[in-house]
């Protein structure tokens, strides 16, 4: 229209001048050449956005393509459990927020927990990925698979619970010794006089649970000798089994004062406690691991004294970074140990 100023389109020469690079560098970026550093592409893209250059979409695509690209596998457990599905979601979120690399996540769940089945799934995932993160009970079959994957160039990072295989590339999880003693602190400080405490684990081969169990007993021996700790019983990650175990305890032991559950089965434990008389429930202090919908409900009801949890966002971010670190190092090195402080959630701070 007459009298209206037409805004001139920013040229490649003007973009190059503003970005402090040559015109040929901008042209190479726009053409998709692979001999331009990712940092330069990112800088030019930022300048282009700030001055309104017409080709910002192309520059964004070039920047994305120039980033280091990884394909990581994550072998989690039991797709039926909300907790593991939440772990998977947080892993994907941690990968998506990275701006310096591209990470494709292949999240797989193992519902049959037999070692041979997990070993086969681990090997299959390892063939498709640059590195694999694994949650599983420690077993020689998995150790052999970890060793052979390492020899084939695929790193395995253990996650939440460790493996004894020296060839594993890294471990990301909490300090389970401190966790076990913290659980014992809660139960011992909130009970009076003599009594009995039950300890439920998922499986005797989960290192994280075994260490927490030993630490729990260590604290009780040192600070609460009036409490008797039962032999650890495995739930096999089965809520129905955990339900029956708690019902038997309530029927046989009037002196039950505490329950520590460091494996799966919390929904079964809570169901049994809800069926008990209210006065009996109040006598029992329950400490568990990690927080999902069922645990959150138990906390709000006051059935759970404390949940000792992995901070999922921080743990997932650290896991992704650890997998990048072990994948990009020149030669296999010592196992990277990344310890994340656990969170303490109670009915008052949920």
What's the pLDDT tens digit per position in 262-276? 999 999 999 999 999
Q: Which domain holds residue 27?
A: 12-66
Domain assignment present for 349: no
Kindly state the average pLDDT of the residues 164-183: 97
Verify that 43 and 147 share a domain, yes or no.
Answer: no
233: which residues sit within 8 A by CB, 6+ positions away?
198, 199, 200, 201, 245
**Structure-block tokens of residue 56:** 């910002």
Q: Domain for residue 4, yes or no?
A: no
87 and 131 in one domain?
Answer: yes
Domain count across the chain: 3
Which pLDDT band, with edges at 50, 70 and 90, does 130 fall under? very high
Among 192, 140, 194, 172, which Cα is nearest to 319's? 172
DSSP state of 8: P
Question: pLDDT-based confidence at 28, cuts 50/70/90?
Answer: confident
Same domain? 190 vs 234: yes
- Residue 89 sits in the same domain as residue 118: yes
pLDDT of residue 89: 96
- Asked if residue 184 lies in contact with residue 221, where contact means CB atoms within 8 angstroms, the answer is no
**Which has the minimum average pLDDT: 31-35, 38-42, 262-266, 317-321?**
31-35
Q: Note whether 146 and 292 are same-domain residues.
A: no
Task: Tell whether 139 and 222 lie within a shared domain.
Answer: no
């Amino acid at each position: 229209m007459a009298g209206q100023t037409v805004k001139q389109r920013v040229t490649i020469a003007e973009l190059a001048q503003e970005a402090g690079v040559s015109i040929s560098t901008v042209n190479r970026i726009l053409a998709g050449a692979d001999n331009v550093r990712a940092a330069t592409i990112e800088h030019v893209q930022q300048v282009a956005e700030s001055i309104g250059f017409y080709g910002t979409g192309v520059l964004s695509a070039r920047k994305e393509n120039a980033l280091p690209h990884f394909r990581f596998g994550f072998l989690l457990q039991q797709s039926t459990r909300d907790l593991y599905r939440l772990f998977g979601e947080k892993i994907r979120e941690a990968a998506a927020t990275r701006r310096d690399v591209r990470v494709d996540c292949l999240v797989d769940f193992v519902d049959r927990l037999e070692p041979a089945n997990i070993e086969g799934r681990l090997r299959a995932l390892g063939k498709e990925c640059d590195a694999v993160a694994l949650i599983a009970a420690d077993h020689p079959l998995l150790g052999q698979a970890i060793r052979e994957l390492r020899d084939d160039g695929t790193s395995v990072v253990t996650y939440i619970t460790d493996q004894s295989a020296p060839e594993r590339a890294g471990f990301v999880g909490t300090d389970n010794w401190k966790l076990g003693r913290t659980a014992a602190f809660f139960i011992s400080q909130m009970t009076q006089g003599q009594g009995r405490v039950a300890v439920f684990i998922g499986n005797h081969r989960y290192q994280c649970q075994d260490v927490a169990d030993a630490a729990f007993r260590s604290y009780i021996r040192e600070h609460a000798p009036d409490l008797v700790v039962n032999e650890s019983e495995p739930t096999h990650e089965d809520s129905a089994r955990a339900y029956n175990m708690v019902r038997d305890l309530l029927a046989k032991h009037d002196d039950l004062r505490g329950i520590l559950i460091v494996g799966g089965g919390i929904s079964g434990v809570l169901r049994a406690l809800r069926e008990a008389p209210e006065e009996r429930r109040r006598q029992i202090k329950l400490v568990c691991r990690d927080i999902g919908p069922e645990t959150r409900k138990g906390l709000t009801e006051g059935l759970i004294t404390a949940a000792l949890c992995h901070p999922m966002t921080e743990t997932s971010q650290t896991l992704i970074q650890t997998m990048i670190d072990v994948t990009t190092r020149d030669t296999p090195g010592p196992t990277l140990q990344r310890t994340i402080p656990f969170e303490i959630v109670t009915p008052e701070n949920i």
